[in-house]
Every structure is written in C-alpha cells, then in structure tokens.
Chain A
Amino acid sequence: MTSQEKGWKEISIAAVCWKPNTEFLTGDWKTYKPVRDLEKCTRCLLCAIFCPDGAIRWKADKGDIEFDYNYCKGCGVCANECPVKAIEMKLE
C-alpha cells in the first residue's frame, strides 16, 4: 500500500469508480489468444457482439475488426461463436 492511495473520507461512497479503470490491462490474464484467418473471416461481427469484454472493435476506416489484446482475457467465446471457424485460440 502506497501513500498515494486515498483514505476512507476522500473516496466516493458506494465504491463508485472515481477514475477510469482502463489502466488495468486485463489482457495479461490470458493463456490463449484469438488469431483470425483473414481469408475465412466474413466480417459478420458475431465475435464482436459476443465478446464479453468489448475487446473486439469494428474499425470503420479499415472496414474490418480488430482484437484489442490489452483487454482480451482469452476466454475463447469469439472462436466458439464464429460460424466459419475463422478464429483459432493459440497458446501465448
């Protein structure tokens, strides 16, 4: 515990987050990472809809999706849901 941490009188009640917690890179929890076969992928976006962490984003400028490995925990839901089996979970 460091001196920068706030006391109970200073912090928001009800554990409301007083700063964005995107600084915690939860992507380092993963054992397997999703890797996409660009040939097979039809850009149906089902993987992005199912991702529980919002770690698959649609990039309009590229007309394609992108995995955000900083927050992907490697759960494999995307690979499981992909109708054309374009996502493979690879050991990191």
Chain B
Amino acid sequence: MKSVVEQKVLALNGDEAVAYAVKQCDVDVVAAYPITPQTIIVERFSEYVANGEVETAFVCTESEHSALTACLAASLTGARTFTASASAGLALMHEMLFVTSGCRAPVVMAIANRALSAPINIHGDQSDTMAQRDSGWIQIYAENAQEVYDSVIQAFRIAEHPEVLLPAMVCLDGFQLSHSVENVNVLPDETVKKFVGIRQFPKVLTHEGKYAPLRLDPENPMTLGPLAFPNYYFEFKRQQEEAMKKALEVIRQVHDEYAQISGRSYGDGLLDPYFLEDAEIATVCVGSTAGTVKTVVDELRAEGVKAGLLRIRAFRPLPVESIRKALENVKAIAVMDKSMSFGGHGGAVFHEVRHALYDSGERPFVVNYIYGLGGRDTSPMQIQAIYKDLQKIVEKNRVETPIRYVGLRE
C-alpha cells in the first residue's frame, strides 16, 4: 500500500509520538498529572502549549483522579479532550474511568504501561490497563512507536464516532515503547486535521421534550450523570455494550481509511496476524513483544517450522469471532500475558483467547505463558523455547503444564 501524501520522518520515542499526534489532532483540552513512564507525553505537549503551537487549554491538576474528572467535564461540553497516565495514576483514575464511559464522554488517553505497586516498580508490564479492562473504555495496544502515532490519531475518530461515543485508551509498553527512539513517519498537519475532523454529536431527547446535540449547552439544557434506580440503570449498561459492538466495526473502518492515506496498516485494525494462515503452532500476544516474536517466527519459518503469531490490537472491544476464526485451525497455541490475574488460573489474555475458542469445532490446545512482569526482558531465545514447547504438545497430543512463567527463577 502506498501513501497518498508526503510524510516526514522524525526520530521520536513512543511518548513523543503520542504528543506529536495529539498536537495534530486539534485537541481543545488536555488535563494531566505526570507519572513515569508517561511523563514525556504531557511534558512535550506542555511545550507545544507554551510555544503557542497549539490552542489547547492545558490544565495542571493535583492528581490523576482530578485530571480525568477535568477531561470528563470538558468532554461533556463538546470539547475534544486528551490525557495520559500509567500504573498508580491509572489506578487512581479507576472511579472516574467508569464515570467517563457511563457518561459516554469520548476522552482519549495514552497509557505508557507500567507495573503496579507493591513492591514499587516503574518498569513496563500490562498490569495497569488489564486491571481496567471492564471499565468501559476501548483499549488499543500498539507494537511500535509508529503504530502509537497512528493509533492516537485513529482513537479520536473511533471514540467520537456518534454510534460509538466511548472513551479510548491507546496503550504503549512502558520504556520498550515509551522511551525507545524510532523513525516515525508523520503525516502533514492538514492531513491529520482533516482526517480527525470536527466532533459530531448525536441527538438525544432531553427533559424539555426536544432532541438536542449531546453536550452541555445553555441553549439546550440537559441533565447528564443523574441517579438511575434499579428500574433503569441496567438499560444504560446494555447501551454501553452495544456501543462496544459498534466499535468493532468502526475501529476497522477508521483503520482502513487511515491506511489509504498513510500507506500503513495493522492487520484489519483489530487483529494483526503474522504467518498464521497455515500455522500449526502459534503464539498470541499484546503490544511490543510482537516485534520479538516476529523475528523468531521468521527464523522458524526459514527452518520449515509452521509457526505463526496473532497480535491482538483491540483488546476492548475484543473481536471474539475473528480470534476464533484466526486460531481454530492451529494445533497448539501459547497465549502470552504481561500481567497476572491472581488466583484466576492464568492471565487476562489467556482467559479471553480460550473463551473465544470454546465455540470452535476443533478446540486447539491453549497454554499460557506469563512473562515480563516489572519490566523483565524477554529474549528471542525464550520465545523460541515457547515454540519448542508447542511442538512437544503437538507431538505428545497433550498438555502437561497449562500455565508457565517465562524467565522466572524457581
């Protein structure tokens, strides 16, 4: 696929790629609180504000809870809003994550994935966002800084789509992506501005008995965030589930439209398969680890091993049917989790991939590898060992240890 516009190549780390994308997206309000490894995002963005390169209102808050509250309020007035966080900061936002999705405020947030305390650790794993997977936010995980840049731009379009209207997280692995400099192709400002467009508002019936655009406006008063008793609360939650279903389609559409302009695509926008078509053994992962896995798959393919990879790009909404179709003909699958669900028999990604495969006729063997917690490196050799394990499972036609830990000392 070819790009229809001329693009600049900049040396950016993942955090800077986020800030650059946000700068181009005509954002009205950014409210944030610094936390490693996300700090560079808002630091760089505050420089754009100070230099007069953007017209964004930049709000320094006293905590992440307040940062997201400010974003929510701004978003409800119709403003395009952005924030960024990680780890303990995201955990402190927990309450407001649900309020934001429940109020259907399309806030976009970048998360530089980091481990949760205790013990305290500033390095990368996905415990923070996986713990928020039921908060009603769209979650897109990027593989590299280029995809981080592209995903932030797409996220505004997805979140603000009148039939979706849900907040969205773009997740980038802490340090591996947030602090590693790569060559990033950036689109011209005008192209991005045109692509994201102006926020559209669906009309809702208000207490005045008329239909008005969904935003706080003195001309059309409306009550947002009211009390809902047991007779109505449930119905609003069902609406959010419907919006997630709609998001599956919109993520794909926005991804395809963006690919036409930029020349870059990531599978179908939801799933990014690599040599999966005829694969007998495969891994499933989320985020930057896919880069390492692809190198290993290349080596194995050169040796004639039918190895493949499925990278899940959209974890919420989860493309369950596509996952099933992509994996049901594979004989043995290793699902990689960069977080733990203590006492839950494996990690979150494992649970969901196995759940997706329950309805397939040929249920493949599915095992779980927990890796990289607290920023521990995962080497190509360790990934090779995972594929060797899968070959053994296929040979023996049984699984001995369903849940394993990569690089953990006994």
User: A interface vs B, CB < 8 Å?
Assistant: 1, 5-8, 11-21
Contacts and interface: CB of A to CB of B under 8 A. Distances in A.
A49 B243 CA distance: 41
A13 B239 contact: yes
A13 B90 CA distance: 26
B102 interface: yes
Nearest to B103: A14
Contacts of B207: 17-21
Contacts of A19: 207, 209
Contacts of B102: 14-15
Interface string B175-193: 0000000000000000000
A12 B236 CA distance: 9
B231 A14 contact: no
Contacts of A7: 235
B236 A17 contact: no
Contact of B104 (A1, A6, A13, A21): A13
B263 interface: no
A19 to B, nearest CB: 6
A35 B172 CA distance: 60
B235 A16 contact: no
Ranked 3 nearest A-B pairs via Cβ: A8-B235, A14-B104, A12-B204
Interface in B188-215: 202, 204-207, 209, 214
25 contacts: A6-B235, A8-B235, A8-B238, A8-B242, A11-B232, A12-B205, A13-B165, A13-B202, A13-B214, A13-B236, A14-B103, A14-B104, A14-B214, A14-B224, A15-B224, A15-B228, A16-B204, A16-B205, A16-B222, A17-B222, A18-B204, A18-B206, A21-B207, A21-B223, A21-B226
A11 B222 CA distance: 14
Contact of A18 (B202, B205, B238, B239): B205
A13 B236 CA distance: 7
Central interface residue in A5, A7, A13, A18, by most chain B CB within 10 Å: A13
B361 interface: no
Contacts of B119: none
A11 B206 contact: no
Contacts of B222: 16-17
B225 interface: yes
A8 B236 contact: yes
A16 B165 CA distance: 14
A7 B228 CA distance: 14
Contacts of A21: 207, 223, 226
Contact of A16 (B209, B214, B234, B243): B214
B238 to A, nearest CB: 4
Contacts of A13: 104, 165, 202, 204, 214, 236, 239, 243
A1 B231 CA distance: 6
A24 to B, nearest CB: 9
A15 B236 CA distance: 7
A14 to B, nearest CB: 4
A80 B103 CA distance: 35
Central interface residue in A1, A8, A13, A14, by most chain B CB within 10 Å: A14
B139 to A, nearest CB: 20
A82 to B, nearest CB: 29
B75 to A, nearest CB: 11
A42 B161 CA distance: 55
Contacts of B239: 8, 11, 13
B192 to A, nearest CB: 28
B231 A16 contact: no
B205 A15 contact: no
Contacts of A16: 204-206, 214, 222-224
Contacts of B214: 13-14, 16
Contacts of A12: 204-206
A49 B198 CA distance: 39
B204 A14 contact: yes
A58 B226 CA distance: 27
A11 B237 CA distance: 12
A70 to B, nearest CB: 18
Contacts of A15: 102-103, 224-226, 228, 232, 236
Contacts of B225: 15
A15 B232 CA distance: 9
A71 to B, nearest CB: 15
